[in-house]
Structure formats: C-alpha cells, structure tokens
Amino acid sequence: MHEKEGFSIWFFVGIMLAIYGPIILIANIPGLSTSQNPHVVLERLHAGVWWGILLTLLGALFLYLHWPGKHSSTLDDKDNNILSDKMEGKN
Amino acid sequence: MSILLKGFLLSGGLISLNWADLLIIIIYFLIVLGIGYYLVKFTKTGDDFFLAGRKMTMWIAGLAFISANLGSLELMGWAAASYQYGILAAHWYWIGAIPAMLFLGIIMMPFYYISKTHSVPGYLKLRFGNGASMLSAISFAFMTVLMSGVNMFAMALVMKVILGWDLNFSIWVSSITVMVYVVLGGLLSAIFNEVLQFVLIWAGALLVPILGLVEVGGWKGMVARIHQNLPHGDYTHMWRTLGHFSDNPMGIQWMGIVFGLGFVISFGYWTTDFLVVQRVLSAKDLRSAKMAPIIGSGFKMLVPLIVILPGLIGLAVMPGLVGQAEAAATGAQSYNEILPLMMARYLGPGLLGLGITALIAGFMSGMAGNVTAFSTVWTYDIYRPLHFKITKKEATDKHYVNMGRWATFVGVLISIGTAYLVENAASIMDYVQALFSFFIAPLFGTVILGMLWKRTTAAGGFWGLLAGTVSSVGMWAWVRLDPRALAIITGSADAKAMAEDMYRALWSWIICVLVTVFVSFATKPKPESQLVGLVRGCTELPSDSHLPLTKRPIFWAGVVFVAFIILQIIFW
C-alpha cells in the first residue's frame, strides 16, 4: 500500500518494532547486574539487552522513513519507482 | 477478561512466560486487530477484498507469498525434521522450492496475470471450461478449510504442551482474531499481517541459531558434536548420502528428491496452490508479479537459518529427544518441540515472548491465508457460476464482496469444527493432510500442459486431472492396505514414508500427463484465437528488453539460481 492511499505497511512494522524493542530492553536490564535467568544458556552475553536496542533502533528507522505523509526515501516509493517501468506490449 | 487471563496463565507447560512475554503477545493481537479495523475503508470492491486491489509492490507481494507458506507448523515441523533427519530437511527449502518459484515468476506468472484471473481454478475455467475448474475449485475449497482446522488444532496442542494453555482458549481466541481482521480487510489485511509476521519471525527466531552457534563453537564445532552424539549416521551432508535408500536417515535416494520433490511436489505446490499464488496475483503490474516469486525465493533460501540450523544445533546440544509416540509413552521430551525448546534454552524475558509470538503469528497468518483463498475460490469459482446458472444474470460486485465476507466467517467456523473433530479422532489429521497432497501433483500436470501446449483440450484437462487424483488416492490406499506396495511404488524395499510421498506424487503426475495427452489427441482442440492470453505460443508476451539488466526479472532469477547452486555445493 502506498502513502497516498493510507499508511505504509512498513509504518506498522515500525510501530511493532518500536514497541517490542523497549519492552525487551526493560525486561532484560535487571539481568545486567545479577543473574535473573540461570536456566538461559549464555545469559552472560545479555542478548536481550542488545536485541532490545537493535529492535528499538530498527523500529525508529522504519517510523522515520515511513511516517504518514513523508514521501521521499520511503521503501514503497522506491519500489514503485522501480516497478512503474511498464513493460512494452500487452498488459 | 477472566477467561483470557485464565487461558494465558494456566501452567503445566515446558516453558513459563513472564510479564514482558505476555505483554508482547497481547500487543501483537491488538496490532493485528487494529490493522484489520484500519484497512476496512480500503476494502470496497471485489478486487480490493479478494486481490488486495492489485496494488501490491513486488516486495510486499513477494514477502506475503513466502509468509503464507511460513506457518508455525512449517517452522516447527521442519525444525523437528532436521533433528530427525539432519540437513536433508533443507532440501524442502532449496531444491524443493527455489527452482519452482523461479519457474512461476518467469514462465507461468505472465499467463496467470495477463489472463486477469482471480484464482487458479479461474485460470482452468478460462482454459478448459467448467469441468476441470469446478473439480479443482471444490477439492481446493474443501481441503483448504479442513487443513486450516487441522493446523489450528495442531497449534493449540503445541501451545498446550509448551505453555500449558487451554486448547479451547487457543483455538477460539486465535480463530476469532483471524476472522475479524480478514472479514474487515480481506486479502489486503491478510497480506499486511503476513508481512508483519515475516518481520516478527526473523526478530523472534534469529537469535536462536546465533547463540546456538556461539555455544557449540561455530559450524565445525556443531558438526563435531553431532558426530560425537550420533557416530553412525551422516546428518550434515545434503547429497552425498542420497546414493541409496539405506544410506541416509530419511530412507530416500536422489531420484525421489530431484524428480519427486524438486519437480512434481515443489512445482505443484508453488505454481498451482492458490494459497500462495493469490499473493502474487495481488501485484500491481506484470513486472511486479514476475519479481514477487523471485524475491520470495531469495528469502526462502535464507529460512533454513532459522528452521534447519536450530534443529541441527539441537542434535549437538540436546541429544536424546524422541518421537511423539515414544514421548507420549515414556514421558520423555519429543523432538517435535525442538524449536520452542531451543527458544527456552537461549531466550530470556521478552525474547521468549517474541519467539512465541512469532509462532502464533505464523499460525494466524497461515490460517488467514487458507480462509482468504477459500473465500475467493468459493465466491468466484463455485458460488458465482451456480448463481448465474440459477438466476441467469450476474450479481453486483458488492454482492460478491458480501459473499466473500460470509464465506470467511463460515470458513473459520468450519475450521473450528474440524479442529474439534481432530481432537476427538487424531487419525483424521493424517488423512486430511494426505488428502491435500492428492490434488497438488496432478493439478500441476493439468495447468502446465494447458499453459504450454495449445493442443490440450478441455476433455483432456478434466480427465487427466481426475485420473491423476484418483491414481494418487489409489496408491495411498494400496500402501495402507498392503505395506509391501511401498516397495513397488518406490522401486526399493528400503524406502520409507518420505519416499512414498515423493514417488506417489511423481506417478500421479505422470498418469495425469499421459491421460491428458491421450484424451487431447482424441478430442477436438479450441481454435487458437480462443487461447490468446492463456497459452504460450498463442500469446504475445510483453517484453522487458528496454529495461536495464538489473531491472529485468530474468537477471534476478539467474542471481538466485546461482546462489542456490552454490549452497548445494557448499553443503554437498
């Protein structure tokens, strides 16, 4: 779906990641000081903290690029630019 | 609300969730319902409801194409298969998918798209008339909605085993959610959620193989541990053990993989199963429709990273898991739950919820795929001809959209009924899954001959499809009545169940093709003027020669195919 007709699908992806990232980050911060989940293998790597930050950043990026009304540099626009090269002949 | 909380908080499963995990799951349900509510205003015409307005870009159509197949049972099933059979399971993602997806994009999509059909049975109607179309539409609609129920029950069972959730709670909450967002937004809503699910699956599952490889010391460390745990078998090579049925844990040899899986089953599923083809038909122009399966194939090649690799890492770090029957008898853990077990092993708070949400999302989007395909085929290929025959006039577009919404509602209810039927007679699940496979291989024979050979007649198409389907059912029943028949069908006494599926598909396809050719030669073909837009050789295909190389579908198909070959060599 294109912005002209409504929110881009990537905007919803951005919302989802921007909500999930901080939840995961907050849930894993207590584990930085003391072991909260000894049954989790490689807990010392604090994967939850890094993954939470990564998802938050990705969510923010998607929201920035696909905010409603924003037209330039959006993936949909880029797609449509590529895709609008009509083929010659029928169709 | 109390029922919701009770459903979520019932314990007794393998994994327990904390507040962050539950919050993530609840937010997911709110987001998908919100999307359905938001999209209702964009879903007014039949094209909007059944084909998402034919406005999707190649990326969205491509991701939806791949996601419709990436259900949770697919994820969990193939992770379990890789634990059971090793890396051979990756054949279902590579040779069992990539060539067929590229063939769909380059060779078949132009005819589906140019003919302006809304479904695969719709194409059969244009090419062969009502007989083959109705046979295909009824079998597809019936089996799709039953499969949806079977998958729903299987998923609810998984949630019960893993999380301790109540079966009724899982079935009703997820089904009603799917029903609401599909009734509101049709295929558009389903596609939005499929793309969301695709992102969610990667976000929720990618950490498992990353952390798993860290634990075992990389690929070499993993292979060494597997050899240590299982010294009498090769679980890490894809082709070198396929010389004979007895050389590999799957009990299959290369001919079954190449011709049965790589050709008939794969081409049958990826090029004629309307569940996946419908996503590509939503593309906004022919070039997007050609590119969508190619983009999908690129992502499909990567899926073993989050499905097959966790199963292999499981073989290295969690040896000793057993099959479902043995697990039920002894109380041991089953390898059928290897993916959630690996999630529980590596994922902490929040991450585990994300992984479980990915599985739920996979299930819901798989169900949405089934009901959208069902409602389209029911409305356009079954109801519409009957309505016309009875009333002698065409109904309005709005009438068909309303029928599509009702078909979605009824389809979900039938699915729920099937789920409860399966609960009371588990063997029905195997029968339904086998039934579905009966139609796929012969349908590919009918469609491909109809598309590429102008001499194929309506009678040839109908009788070929019927003969292929009946022979497939016959072979299946023969093996059930006399297990020795397996050796005759596969040509080896060492063949196992997986080989049976491959060879049954191969034979039923051959029978379909032979009958179609024979009957076609005996009957009168349509004049070429009536085959324009439907058959190669009678249709002037649009050229993309004016486009730069990097914008041509054939170029990207070549890139994907080269990558596919390289993967086969690496894991030979």
Of B114, B207, B288, Cβ closest to residue A51: B207
**Interface pTM (ipTM) of the complex?**
0.82
The whole-angstrom distance between residue B189's C-alpha and the CA centroid of its chain comes to: 19
Higher pLDDT, B520 or B131: B520
The whole-angstrom distance between residue B137's C-alpha and the CA centroid of its chain comes to: 18
The whole-angstrom distance between residue A83's C-alpha and the CA centroid of its chain comes to: 23
Q: Which of A63-72, B269-278, B532-541 has the lowest mean pLDDT?
A: A63-72
Q: Which residue has the tokens 């599923």?
A: B269
**Inter-chain touch A88–B348, beta carbons under 8 Å:** no
Rounded alpha-carbon distances, angstroms, from residue B291 to B108, B141, B294, B345, B474: 12, 27, 5, 38, 38
Query: What tokens were used for B307?
Result: 């499905």
Inter-residue contact B359 to B170 (CB < 8 Å)? no
Query: What tokens were used for B306?
Result: 């989050």
**Inter-chain touch A83–B57, beta carbons under 8 Å:** yes
Chain A environment of B347 (Cβ under 8 Å): 40, 47-48
Model pLDDT, residue B3: 52
Measured distance CA(B81)–CA(B310) in Å, rounded = 11
Interface test with A, best of B211, B354, B541 (most A CBs within 10 A): B354
Q: Which residue has the tokens 């998958």?
A: B151
The per-residue pLDDT for range B190-222, each reduced to its tens digit, is 888 888 988 998 998 899 999 999 999 999 999
Mean pLDDT of A40-62: 91
- Integer Rg of chain B from CA: 23
Higher pLDDT, B275 or B553: B553
Mean pLDDT of B75-97: 88
- Integer Rg of chain A from CA: 19
Inter-residue contact B64 to B56 (CB < 8 Å)? yes
Provide the shortest C-alpha distance from residue A70 to chain B (in Å): 18
Give the closest residue to B104 by CA, choosing from B280, B359, B356, B238. B280
A63 in helix, strand or coil? helix
DSSP state, B99? H
* Maximum Cα interatomic distance, chain A, rounded to a whole number of Å: 67
- Please tell me the number of Cα atoms within 13 Å of B153 on its side-chain side: 24
**Inter-chain touch B211–A80, beta carbons under 8 Å:** no
Query: What tokens were used for B83?
Result: 């634990």
**Inter-chain touch B351–A80, beta carbons under 8 Å:** no
Residue by residue, DSSP assigns B480-495 as HH-TTHHHHHHS-TT-
Chain B environment of A47 (Cβ under 8 Å): 207, 211, 346-348, 351
The length of chain A, given as a count of residues = 91
Sheet strands (E) in B249-398: none
The rounded mean pLDDT for chain B is 85
Model pLDDT, residue A83: 33
Model pLDDT, residue A87: 37
Q: Is the pLDDT of residue B362 over 70?
A: yes
The per-residue pLDDT for range B366-422, each reduced to its tens digit, is 888 888 889 989 998 899 888 888 888 888 888 998 999 999 999 999 988 888 887
Partners of B536 in the beta sheet? Answer: B539
Of B31, B543, B551, Cβ closest to residue A85: B551
Q: Is the pLDDT of residue B252 over 80?
A: no
Q: Is the pLDDT of residue A77 over 70?
A: no
- Please tell me the number of Cα atoms within 13 Å of B270 on its side-chain side: 35
CB-count burial class (<10 Å; 0-12, 13-18, 19+) for B316: buried
Measured distance CA(B363)–CA(B383) in Å, rounded = 28
B272 in helix, strand or coil? helix
Measured distance CA(B160)–CA(B10) in Å, rounded = 9
